Structures are given as structure tokens and as C-alpha cells.
């Protein structure tokens, strides 16, 4: 293989530094596309694009799965020969109001059912933020523990693992009150490892003091390894602030080595919410992420 100097990475526009790995390249064996990285693609297009790029895993979201129906989605991914590296997402269970809490529990049970049907490696739990007008962060965090405890028997019965996703503190108020890997592990370790673990997402965790030690501590609690970069200046919409690996500040070799040393053998899912990435042709997004993955991540697994 040689690097085609006419090949450019997206969205940076810089020249590709490595050749695009071809389908069948063993280095692609654990790379997964989270379908929100190519948000403009339908589920059908995302499955086809994943196969065309030579990947064998995809991370799904409940909403696009719901649009085609669970049974159809399962058939599609099975027929395509893809693993489902994660289902996004359950969680959002920080409400203080009993009616809202019951609704969240029901929604999470449905999400567990869906994850079981799709044979997803894990159901990603995004904890949720502070209820409107509520400033009791300690209380909201305590309710996360209660909500997970309520779901554990249901998840165990269906063979689904719950992956608590610690989120960058920039989201603590409105999206995820679990802010560090240490904190996520403090919660997960209360429950059997067959039921509850954590999602290690580079974008959310790269800044955490001692994060490599926490990854080591996590061991077999790591249910998903998601990658995306921290770029500056931070895009104006913090929900769309993630960058392509290599475009930002994260030391992917170091984090990946730690995840691997902890024993993680699952898929590596690229999850990038970014308006510029979404504006780029999805096949170029896949090609760029495959190049960056083999350059910065794969050799350290």
C-alpha cells in the first residue's frame, strides 16, 4: 500500500498520513462505526457503509432502530454479518419526581429488551443531568445508583450488560451527572460484573487525573471503548464538540494501551458528534477514521 497524496482527511482537509486500510485488512477487525458519526446516513445506509469500508461492527442508536423496527434492524445487522458493539442509549434516570422516575425505569427496561434482541455488547447508560431548577447534584448522583440497582435484575435475566458512561464535566448540569471514570466505577462495583460496567470514552475522560490508573482498576468492567478527540477551540455547541482522532489533544496511544492492558478485547467504536464531520461525505468520514485508527489506536491494542 502507498499513501495517495491526493487523499485528504475530513473534516481537517489535511493530506492523509497513511493509506486507507482495505476491506479484509486484519487491522480493521475491531473497529466499529457508531452510527451517529455518520448522522446523515439512515440505518440501512450505515450498515451498508460499514460493510463496504470493511468493518465488522456497528454501534446503534435506539431512535433509528425504532424507525425501521427492532426485528428488521436485527435482520439487517445479522445478514450483514455485523456485531452490534453498543446500543445507545438508556439512562436519563435522575428525575426526582416519582412519575418521571417510573417512566425512566420503563424506558430503560425497553432499552434492555432491545439490546437483548440486537445482541448488543452493552447498553450505554447516559445518566442524565439535574432536574430543572434542582441544584442538588449529590442527590441526583444518588438517584443514579438507585436507578441502576433497579435495572440490574432485569438486565441479568436478559443477559444484557449495562455500561455506565461517565461524561465530561461540561455536561454535568444537563446531560450526565457521572463525571469521572472513578465515580462510574464506584457505582459499577456495587453490582455484579455480569450486569454493570463502564464505557471508556476518550472525549469524556482524557482530562481525568489518574485516568490510566482508573482504567487499570476497571479491568473487565470496561464494556465499551469509544474514541473521539478533544479539539480546541471547542465548537460553540458543546454537544457537537468532538473531533476526529488526531485532530485534537488526546494521547490515544497511551489511553489505548491502558485499555488493552486492562484486558479489554472488544470493539473500538468511533463516536463523533460534530457538525463538520456530519457535513462531510460519510464514506470519507469512514475512510478518515479508519486511517486515524490504524495510525493512532490499533497498534496499541
Binding site for a second copy (CB under 8 A): 130, 135-138, 141, 168-170, 172-174, 179-180, 182-183, 206-209, 212, 230, 232-234, 236-238, 248-251, 254
CB of 186 to a second copy, least distance (A): 8
Give the C-alpha separation, 301 to 290, whole Å: 15
Nearer to a second copy by Cβ, of 208 and 267: the residue is 208
Please answer whether residues 208 and 181 qualify as being in contact, where contact means their C-beta atoms are separated by less than 8 angstroms: yes
Nearer to a second copy by Cβ, of 89 and 168: the residue is 168
CB of 16 to a second copy, least distance (A): 19
CB of 211 to a second copy, least distance (A): 9
Nearer to a second copy by Cβ, of 258 and 286: the residue is 258
Nearer to a second copy by Cβ, of 62 and 204: the residue is 204
Residue whose grid cell is 457505582: 187
CB of 82 to a second copy, least distance (A): 32
Nearer to a second copy by Cβ, of 22 and 136: the residue is 136
Secondary structure letter of residue 240 according to DSSP? G
Q: Judging by beta carbons within 10 Å of its beta carbon (0-12, 13-18, 19+), is residue 74 exposed, middle or buried?
A: middle
CA angle 121, 125, 128 (to 5 degrees): 165
CB of 299 to a second copy, least distance (A): 16
Count the neighbouring beta carbons within 10 Å of the beta carbon of residue 71. Answer: 9
Best CA proximity match to 163, nearest among 110, 85, 251, 254:
85
CB of 135 to a second copy, least distance (A): 4
Q: How far is CA 96 from CA 36, 92, 128, 133, 139, in A?
A: 30, 11, 12, 11, 9
The contacts of residue 57 (CB under 8 Å, 6+ apart) are 30, 31, 32, 33, 50, 82, 83, 84, 85, 267, 269
First vs last Cα of the chain: how many Å apart?
22
Nearer to a second copy by Cβ, of 58 and 205: the residue is 205
Give the C-alpha separation, 279 to 173, whole Å: 28
The secondary structure element, H or E, covering residue 200 is strand 196-201
Nearer to a second copy by Cβ, of 230 and 278: the residue is 230
CB of 126 to a second copy, least distance (A): 16
Residue whose grid cell is 482530562: 207
Amino acid at each position: 500500500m502507498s499513501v495517495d497524496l491526493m487523499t485528504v482527511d475530513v473534516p481537517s482537509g489535511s493530506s492523509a498520513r497513511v493509506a486507507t486500510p482495505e476491506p479484509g485488512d486484519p487491522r480493521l477487525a475491531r473497529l466499529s462505526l457508531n452510527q451517529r458519526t455518520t448522522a446523515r446516513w439512515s440505518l440501512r445506509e450505515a450498515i451498508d457503509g460499514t460493510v463496504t469500508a470493511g468493518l465488522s461492527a456497528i454501534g446503534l442508536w435506539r431512535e433509528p432502530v425504532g424507525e425501521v423496527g427492532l426485528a428488521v434492524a436485527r435482520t439487517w445487522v445479522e445478514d450483514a454479518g455485523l456485531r452490534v458493539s453498543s446500543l445507545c442509549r438508556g439512562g436519563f434516570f435522575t428525575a426526582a419526581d416519582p412519575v418521571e422516575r417510573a417512566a425512566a425505569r420503563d424506558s430503560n427496561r425497553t432499552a434492555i429488551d432491545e439490546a437483548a434482541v440486537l445482541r448488543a455488547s452493552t447498553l450505554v447508560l447516559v445518566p442524565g443531568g439535574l432536574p430543572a431548577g434542582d441544584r442538588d447534584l449529590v442527590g441526583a448522583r444518588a438517584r443514579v445508583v438507585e436507578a441502576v440497582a433497579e435495572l440490574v435484575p432485569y438486565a441479568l435475566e436478559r443477559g444484557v450488560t449495562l455500561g455506565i458512561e461517565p461524561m465530561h464535566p461540561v455536561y454535568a448540569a444537563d446531560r450526565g451527572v457521572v463525571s469521572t471514570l472513578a465515580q462510574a466505577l464506584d457505582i459499577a462495583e456495587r453490582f455484579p460484573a455480569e450486569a454493570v460496567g463502564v464505557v471508556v470514552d476518550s472525549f469524556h475522560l482524557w482530562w481525568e487525573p489518574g485516568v490510566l490508573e482508573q482504567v487499570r482498576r476497571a479491568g473487565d468492567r470496561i464494556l465499551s471503548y469509544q474514541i473521539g478527540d478533544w479539539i480546541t477551540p471547542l465548537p460553540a455547541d458543546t454537544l457537537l464538540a468532538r473531533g476526529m482522532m488526531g485532530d485534537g489533544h488526546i494521547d490515544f496511544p497511551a489511553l489505548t494501551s491502558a485499555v488493552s492492558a486492562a484486558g479489554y478485547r472488544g470493539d473500538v467504536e468511533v463516536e463523533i458528534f460534530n457538525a463538520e464531520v456530519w457535513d462531510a461525505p460519510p464514506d470519507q468520514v469512514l475512510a478518515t477514521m479508519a486511517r486515524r485508527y490504524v495510525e493512532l489506536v490499533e497498534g496499541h491494542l
